Structure 1
Amino acid sequence: MLGSNTFARRVRAGAGALAVAVVATVLVGCAPDECGSGDSCAVSFPADAKSKIDETVRKNMDAGLIPGALVTVHAPGRGTYTQAYGVADLATGRPMTVDDHVRIGSITKTFTATAILRAADEGKLALDDVLSKYVPGVPNGDTITLRDLLGMRGGVWDLVGDSDFAAQLVTKTPGEWRDGDRLRAITAHPEHAKPPRTNTEYSNSEFVLLGLVLEKVIGKPVHEVLDELARAHGLQETSYPVDATIPSPASQGYTYFDDAATNVTSRNSPAIFGAAGTMVSTISDLATYAPLLAKGDLLKPETSQARQQFTSGTAGGAPFDYGLGLQRFGPWLGHAGGVLGYTTHVGYLPDTGAAVAVAVNQYTVPPTLLRITASDIWGSIVEQLYPESLPGDRPTPTIPSPQLPAPADLSTHLQQAFDTTLAPTQKTLRVAADDKDPELITKLAKVYAGYSMTFRVDKLTDFDGTTLLATTTVSSPDSKRPMVIPFTAHDNTWRLDTNWVCESLLLGGESSPACT
């Protein structure tokens, strides 16, 4: 969705997550056992490795108010570990099981991309065809190619910027959104369109349009196209629903519009996300899919190779590497996903054949409120099991670790930090990178100035003396919502995490030299 760790920011791109550091664990060699249905399935992993994964997952769930989570790790020659945590349904208390279906969000984009690439292999289209050949009326459609759309380089304005579309994500009782509204939102804002091949910038719109291309070329509804593709991959529990329902058993998805979790399972109709984020799957199917995606299953070798030509860009202000419907996280290949109520993350490490998949059933927009997602947990597990695969600097515990503040004291310090009438020198809290911008905390307070917020820290979660998460209730005159505020250990004190501050500034239209 590691503080200032570059790798963590790339993991976070597209899902809105904060990865935290944990102690690396080396697995011993063992043969994987068979894994059946049930609440959980644990095989072959040594007890200390399993316990560290469990501790990491549960800490993140607790801090991030996540009801349930699913994890699978496939480590060839070492074993397989699949586990369900928490509850799938807050109303009934039903536990999450490894058979539960979840919405996989933007992992849908990988299926859409494979379908387009497969159609190119079959001569039904060419990747250098212009968009207007299939979908008229899109700004710059005469120069945008299908290859541009696959690589997030089409310059198409992301429809999440449309106020009516955004209401589907942030409003408790939004108006009805119909299937044709996606294209309307994309074509109605030519002033926001950018020339293609200028930048790599995450845009859901580009894959919505590719779904329309598939329907035109294949002559079938996109749900049929992607369902057939999932079957061709051998994924029996992966599908594109035709309505807002999820196959049974299904984990419910939750969002915080106020201080209570709201069940939003039925809010995610195909009309909202289309070919950019509608599909559902299980944790076992996701883990099975990871190597198929990375190795180019169903594609010609040269097409698979073209798919892995990555460019660097931004997603929500964070850096990310994108191929043709494929993300790269260091040496890991896969994709992250997030739709209202759910986040997912799947990755495959070619050098070892390892696959790690994570899904959780809570996602709240904007992600700066409750920023812990499946990508957070995924990054933590990878750091445990494959620390050598992570590029960039990773935080190390300070000696001694900073003393944990009392929640009541930290509440007071946060109230002071967000007070726009106080100078930075009058505030007890600092930002980790404020040596690059002494006004960083003032800019943060300015972003939130219009909300008249009060803070109550409810609990603190410490990750090995490097990262501290403060689960906080934030109240304003007309609302009360939870917020996870991250802190980083710096000079034996806890400072506000720079990435979180910078993401907040981005949402508020502010900038800082500390955020470059």
Structure 2
Amino acid sequence: MCRLAFLCILSCSVFSFAQSQPVDRLSTELRGKIDTAAQQVLSVTGVPSASVAIVQNGEIVYTHAYGKARLQPPTEATPQMRYSIGSISKQFTATAILLLEQQGKLSVDDKVSKYLPDLTRADEVTLRMLLAHTSGYQDYWPEDYLMTPMLQPATAQQIMDKWGKKPLDFDPGTRWQYSNTNYVIAGAIVEKVSGSELFRFLQQNVFAPLKMSSVYNSDIESLGKTDAEGYIRYALGPLRPAPPAGNGWMFAAGELAMPVYDLALWDISVMNQSLLAPKSYAEMNDSFKLKDGDDTHYGLGVFVARRMDRPAIEHSGEVSGFVAENVVFPDDKAAIVVLTNQDATSAASLIARQVAPLILSPEPKHAAASPEETQALAIFTGLQQGKLDRSLFTQWCNDYFNNQAIQDFESSLKPLGAPVTFNMSAEELRGGMTFRSFTLTFKDPKQKLRVTTYTMPDGKLEQYLVIPVL
């Protein structure tokens, strides 16, 4: 299980297919552009099939599949078919932890030793570090192919005994390194705390409430003949059925399979924040900061990114025979799901990348400005006019803004005009203060600036610098 699409597979579900018909609420023109993009990517990459779901304005507006889900006998792909979603499964394991936290049964800042004391340095690693890939536990499956031992069954305990008891790759919280081992440990903790199998816990607390009726756990049993079959290709040779991993290797790190419709339902719940408490969503989507302050751009089971100049919550997934891509644009209430049935390919991400500009508005929908953004922008606008409310600053910062500084700020910033965007891009604690960084853009696309501030506990600003960005 690699970073290309962080490991995962599937697992049995007692649910049946509820969404029996494809969804099509698009204009003929937009549908044609999406279909052309998907078909071109499949043609260029040679991937057998792709299943796609589109969410706009918080609703599923399109589900469609392209190509062959099975080569023998030839079977056309349909959007009702299940594909492995690979490591996209990880955000569901993270959700299980957050649900248990909401129930008061654990905390994401608990030490692993509270539940699994025999693991390496378990008294230093928190559950949050597991979910954010900053624990130091070595990845048991970084490869993009299925190794021989993984053709045989394994248990979570066996994986933890071998990889969870090795020396850590780095001190906890000091580096980010993708590791499936983290999620096997997290899944074992879910089962220990809840008293339920992980998949059953997810069925009861996530899939059923969201009406995700066709989720499957292929860590227990392979997908059926009515689902897509996974394929592998050696170099430029022919497509061949991909070997399935032995039971147990996908546990908690990538065991889920589902049709695109079900994953789109999950995306809608994420953008609407309809399943978890607001605090839980904040924890999931907050990018983890290392001990030295560096931003990992990874939350709890999700990448926290920017795509097309707007916030995006993203994850891909790969397992033997399958690659998946899932991108949510929360401010736009939009999402793109792409599931494909050949491993070690970029087709899923290529399709998502080509579809995004087709379904998003040219200008991003920015969330309401935060109080910090509002204050920093007001100060910037005042400085463009040679004005400064000195009551906002500490004595040292007021000393910095001497007469010469005020004149230079006004003469250099006034010609730029009003900022087009003014967004906070980073926030962290340092030196007993809160550091914040803001990114500014202007009418001239070549002109970009950065504002950095330090805020004292009493709210006074100790720093306000304007820095050019190349």
Task: State the TM-score bracket (shorter-chain normalisation).
Answer: 0.5 to 0.7
TM-score, normalization by structure 1: 0.61
CA distance in 2, matches of 1:89, 1:189: 41
Q: Distance in 1 between matches of 2:104 and 2:23?
A: 45
Q: Which residue of 1 aligns with 2:40?
A: 59
For structure 2, the residue ranges without an aligned partner over 5 or more in a row are 7-17, 365-470
Cα contact 2:153–2:248 (8 A) shared by 1? yes
Aligned counterpart for 2:24 among listed residues 7, 25, 43: 43
Given residue 5 of structure 2, which amino acid in structure 1 is its aligned partner?
Answer: A
Contact 1:156 1:205 in 2 (8 A): yes
Does the 8 Å contact 2:59/2:268 carry over to 1? no
State the match for 1:386 in structure 2: 360
The TM-score, its normalising length taken from structure 2, stands at 0.66
Greater Rg by CA: 2
Deviation at 1:294, TM superposition (A): 3.9
2:126 counterpart (145, 151, 170): 145
Partner-residue secondary structure (3-state), 2:331: coil
Q: Does 1:377 align with 2:340?
A: no
- SS of residue paired to 1:322: coil
In the alignment, structure 1 residue 360 sits paired with structure 2 residue 334: no
Match of 1:216 in 2: 192
Quick check: 1:101–1:248 contact (8 Å CA) kept in 2?
no
Cα distance in 2 for partners of 1:273, 1:42 equals: 31
Q: How many residues align?
A: 342
* One-letter amino acid of the counterpart of residue 221, structure 2: A
1:214 offset after TM fit, Å? 0.7
Q: How does 1:445-456 map to 2 (within 5 A)?
A: none
Structure-to-structure mapping, 1:329-344, within 5 angstroms = 329-330=305-306, 331-344=311-324
CA distance in 2, matches of 1:200, 1:293: 24
Question: Residue 15 of structure 1: which of 5, 8, 32 is its match?
Answer: 5
Give 1:417's aligned residue: none
Structure 1 CA distance for aligned equivalents of residues 296 and 38 of structure 2:
24
Asked if structure 1 preserves the Cα contact closer than 8 Å seen for 2:152 and 2:247, the reply is no
Quote the Cα distance in structure 2 between the aligned partners of 1:103 and 1:111.
14
Equivalent in the alignment of 1:347: 327
* Structure 2 residue aligned with 1:227: 203
Cα distance, 1:305–1:253 mapped onto 2, change above 3 Å = same
Distance 1:187 1:171, change over 3 A: closer
Percent of pairs identical after alignment?
26
1:322 to 298, 303, 306: 298
1:154 is aligned to 135
Against the structure 1 CA distance between its residues 357 and 99, is the aligned structure 2 distance closer, same or farther, given a 3 Å change threshold? same
Q: Distance in 2 between matches of 1:86 and 1:173?
A: 32
Q: 2:296 and 2:77 mapped to 1: Cα distance?
A: 31
Choose which of 154, 158, 171 in structure 2 pairs with 1:181.
158
Among residues 196, 200, 214, which one is paired with 1:237 in the alignment?
214
1:133 deviates by: 1.6
Report the RMSD for the aligned CA atoms in angstroms: 2.9
Which digits, 9 at most, give the CA deviation of each residue in 1:307-340, with x for residues without a partner? 2211379xxxxx9721122222311224221111
Question: Are the counterparts in 1 of residues 5 and 317 from structure 2 also a CA contact under 8 Å?
Answer: yes
For the structure 1 residues 196 and 274, does the alpha-carbon distance in structure 2 shift closer, same or farther, using more than 3 Å as the test?
same
**What is the deviation of 1:387?**
6.8
CA distance in 1, matches of 2:27, 2:83: 28
Pick from 177, 183, 189 the counterpart of residue 207 of structure 1. Answer: 183
Superposed, which structure 2 residues align to 1:405-424 within 5 Å?
none
- Any idea what the Cα deviations from partners look like across 1:42-100, whole Å, max 9, x if unmatched? 62322232222112111211222210111111212998122110011111101001110
Q: Which amino acid aligns with 1:256?
A: R
Task: Tell me how far apart the structure 2 counterparts of residues 361 and 49 of structure 1 sit (CA, whole Å).
Answer: 25
Cα pair distance change 1:105/1:77, threshold 3 Å:
closer
Distance 1:247 1:296, change over 3 A: farther
> Is the aligned partner of 1:93 residue 2:74?
yes
Deviation at 1:297, TM superposition (A): 3.4
Aligned mate of 1:133, from 91, 111, 114: 114
